[in-house]
Homo-oligomer: A and B are copies of this chain.
Amino acid sequence: MNSAASEPALIGVDWGTSSLRAFLIGAEGEVIDGVSSPEGIMQVSGKCFEAVLDRLIGPWVAQTALPILASGMITSRNGWVETPYAAMPLGADDLAQALKSLEVANGTLVHFVTGASTEHAGGPDVMRGEETQIIGASSLGLNDGTFVMPGTHSKWVQVVDRRIVDFSTYMTGEVFAALKGHTILGTLMEGDDVSEEAFEMGVTAGLEGGANLLHNLFHVRTLPLMGKIPKGSTADYMSGLLIGTEVAAATRGARGAGTLTIVGRSDLSDRYERALQTAGLECRRAPDDIAAKGHFLIARAAGLLG
């Protein structure tokens, strides 16, 4: 609890597949209080979302009814209220106009922020939740450029003048886990040394590997076989190879233009920062709680802050 904070004005909920975070947000957009839970939408049995929300934000709404904004996979087919994807370009105003509202038991309104879709030559792309974070980040002096969001499915998001104009998803994190857990590459990994050198070798191989990923993955087996990297370092080599391949693909041509901003404070974000540096690309880090900032901006654009 921040004693210098203004009066509570809004509750923001970032409700994903495997976890949720809720924020008590003040009239100036500051985060007064926060709570997190492993109760992602896939962990809530029988779609009893309202009960989970009541319990988590109960302490905040005991005396006063606050508007609630919810973003993330909670608006997907397996979520609470399914909403159609919004099209590019997409700013706080557009998301405010697309809010879908539901009155819950105590008369409170829950306003759902929808996700976004785009279309490239190869096929469609979608996000739910990241658009709210990017809208939040884009208000913090980060108006333009490319936002890199490391994760199971990483997103590269192009922003022009506080509006999302395009984005691409990369399955890098999930591919890494599947290969490590369920192929000969993982079977042969010994120990769990952390090797920055092997990671950097992998990044370089990925940056230079072009379209050869399915071949280059075999080097995760042959390099230790030939004594060229220690057996304990192969996981880090593979992590670097995959992230380097992603960075090369995502920054080719006009994509990845402008200032690069990494979203997130995890070890994975640190790996992406090192890979971008190895690629000769400068980047900065987005502040925490940008989802709450996004909830605030969208709520304000929707006239929900009284």
- State which residues 206-256 of A face B: CB under 8 Å: 208-219, 222-223, 225-226, 228, 242, 245-246, 248-250, 252
- The verdict on A245 contacting B122 (CB below 8 Å), with A174-B183, A178-B183, A182-B181 known, is no
The segment from A54-62, A139-147, A165-173, A276-284 found at the interface with B is A165-173
Copies in the complex: 2
**Which A residues are closer than 8 A to B by beta carbons?**
117, 121-126, 153, 168-172, 174-175, 177-179, 181-185, 205, 208-219, 222-223, 225-226, 228, 242, 245-246, 248-250, 252
Please give me the 8 A-B residue pairs with the lowest Cβ-Cβ distance, nearest first.
Answer: A123-B219, A178-B178, A124-B222, A178-B182, A169-B218, A170-B214, A171-B217, A211-B249
Q: Jot down 29 A-B pairs with beta carbons below 8 A, ordered by A.
A: A122-B205, A122-B208, A122-B215, A122-B216, A122-B219, A123-B216, A123-B219, A123-B222, A123-B223, A123-B228, A124-B219, A124-B223, A153-B218, A169-B215, A171-B183, A171-B215, A171-B218, A174-B183, A175-B179, A181-B182, A210-B210, A211-B213, A211-B245, A211-B248, A212-B249, A213-B214, A213-B245, A214-B245, A214-B246
